[in-house]
A and B are shown apart, each in its own frame.
Chain A
Amino acid sequence: MKKEKILAICIEEIRSGKSAVEDCVKRYPTLEKELRALLEIAAALKPDEVSPSPEFRTRAKLHLFDDQQPAPMKISDRFRSWFVLTPVKISASVLLGVVIFAAAGGGTVYAAQSSTPGQILYPVKTGVENIQLTLTTSHVEKGRLYLQLAQRRINEMAQQTKLNHNVNPQSLTTVTNLFDKALNELSLASDQQAIKNTLSYLSVTSLNEELELKTVVSTSSQNNQPLLQQIIKEAGSANTIAEVAYINQDLLKQKLSVTDAKMDAGQFSIEGTLLSIQNNIWDIGGTNILNINYSGTTPALGSHVKLTGLVVGNNTFISNVEVGEEAEQTTAPTEVQGQYEGNNQDGTANISGISVNISSANAVQLAQGDTVELQGDATDNNLSVTSTQSSAAKTTSITGVLTAVNLVNGIVTVQLTGRQVKVDINNAQIQNFAGTTTLKIAGLKLLIGHEIKLEGLTKNGSIFSATLVEVRLVE
Chain B
Amino acid sequence: MESTTPVHDSEEYLVQQAIKRDREAFTSLYERCIDRVYRHVYYRVSNHDEAEDITQEAFVRAWKAIDRYKRTGAPFVSWVITIAGNLIIDHYRKQQKVEFTDEIEKISEKDLGNQIPGPEKQAEMNFDNAVIKKAVLRLNGDKQKVILMHFIDGLNYEEVAKALNKSEGAIRVIQYRALSDLRGMVKRE
A residues apposed to B, CB below 8 Å: 2-5, 7-8, 11, 37-38, 41-42, 44-53, 56-57, 59-61, 63-66, 69, 71-75, 104-106, 193-194, 197
Q: B residues within 8 A CB of A41?
A: 132, 179, 182-183, 186
B residues apposed to A, CB below 8 Å: 22-24, 26-27, 30-31, 34-35, 38-40, 42-43, 46, 48-57, 59-60, 63, 87, 91, 95, 115-117, 121, 124-125, 128-129, 132, 136, 147, 151-154, 157, 169, 172-173, 175-176, 179-180, 182-183, 186
B54 pairs with A72, CB closer than 8 A: yes
Main secondary structure of the interface of B (DSSP, over half): helix
CB distance from A59 to the nearest CB of B (A): 8
Q: Count chain A CB atoms within 10 A of each CB in B22, B35, B56, B57 and give the residue with the most.
A: B56
A63 pairs with B56, CB closer than 8 A: yes
Q: A residues within 8 A CB of B117?
A: 49-50
- 19 pairs from A and B in contact (CB 8 Å cutoff): A4-B175, A8-B157, A44-B129, A46-B129, A47-B43, A47-B151, A48-B43, A48-B46, A48-B115, A50-B42, A51-B38, A52-B35, A52-B38, A66-B60, A72-B87, A74-B50, A74-B91, A193-B22, A194-B23
Q: B residues within 8 A CB of A105?
A: 49, 52
A50 pairs with B147, CB closer than 8 A: no
Q: Which residue of the partner chain, among B46, B55, B176, contacts A4 with CB atoms under 8 Å?
A: B176
Q: A residues within 8 A CB of B49?
A: 74-75, 104-106
B152 pairs with A49, CB closer than 8 A: no
Contacts known (A8-B172, A46-B152, A48-B116); A64 close to B91, Cβ less than 8 A = no
A61 pairs with B30, CB closer than 8 A: yes
CB distance from B30 to the nearest CB of A (A): 6
B34 pairs with A64, CB closer than 8 A: no
Tally of A-B residue pairs with Cβ under 8 A? 133
A60 pairs with B52, CB closer than 8 A: yes
B175 pairs with A7, CB closer than 8 A: yes
Instruction: Please measure, in the bound complex, the distance between the C-alpha atom of A73 and the C-alpha atom of B53, giving whole angstroms.
Output: 7
CB distance from B146 to the nearest CB of A (A): 11
Q: B residues within 8 A CB of A51?
A: 35, 38-39
Q: A residues within 8 A CB of B43?
A: 47-48
Q: Count chain B CB atoms within 10 A of each CB in A11, A41, A49, A74 and give the residue with the most.
A: A41
A52 pairs with B172, CB closer than 8 A: no
Instruction: Please measure, in the bound complex, the distance between the C-alpha atom of A104 and the C-alpha atom of B172, giving whole angstroms.
Output: 39
Q: B residues within 8 A CB of A45?
A: 132, 136, 147, 151-152
Contacts known (A64-B60, A69-B60); A50 close to B38, Cβ less than 8 A = yes
Instruction: Please measure, in the bound complex, the distance between the C-alpha atom of A42 and the C-alpha atom of B179, giving whole angstroms.
Output: 7
Instruction: Please measure, in the bound complex, the distance between the C-alpha atom of A72 and the C-alpha atom of B86, giving whole angstroms.
Output: 12
Which 5 pairs show the lowest CB-CB distances between chains A and B?
A72-B53, A45-B151, A4-B176, A4-B172, A60-B56
Q: Which residue of the partner chain, among B63, B124, B147, B172, contacts A64 with CB atoms under 8 Å?
A: B63
Contacts known (A8-B157, A64-B59, A197-B24); A50 close to B53, Cβ less than 8 A = no
CB distance from B58 to the nearest CB of A (A): 9
Q: Which residue of the partner chain, among A4, A52, A59, A69, contacts B173 with CB atoms under 8 Å?
A: A4
A56 pairs with B52, CB closer than 8 A: yes
CB distance from B54 to the nearest CB of A (A): 5
Contacts known (A51-B38, A64-B26); A46 close to B172, Cβ less than 8 A = no
Instruction: Please measure, in the bound complex, the distance between the C-alpha atom of A61 and the C-alpha atom of B63, giving whole angstroms.
Output: 12
| CB closest residue in chain B, given A34 | B180
Q: Which residue of the partner chain, among A47, A48, A56, A69, contacts B57 with CB atoms under 8 Å?
A: A69
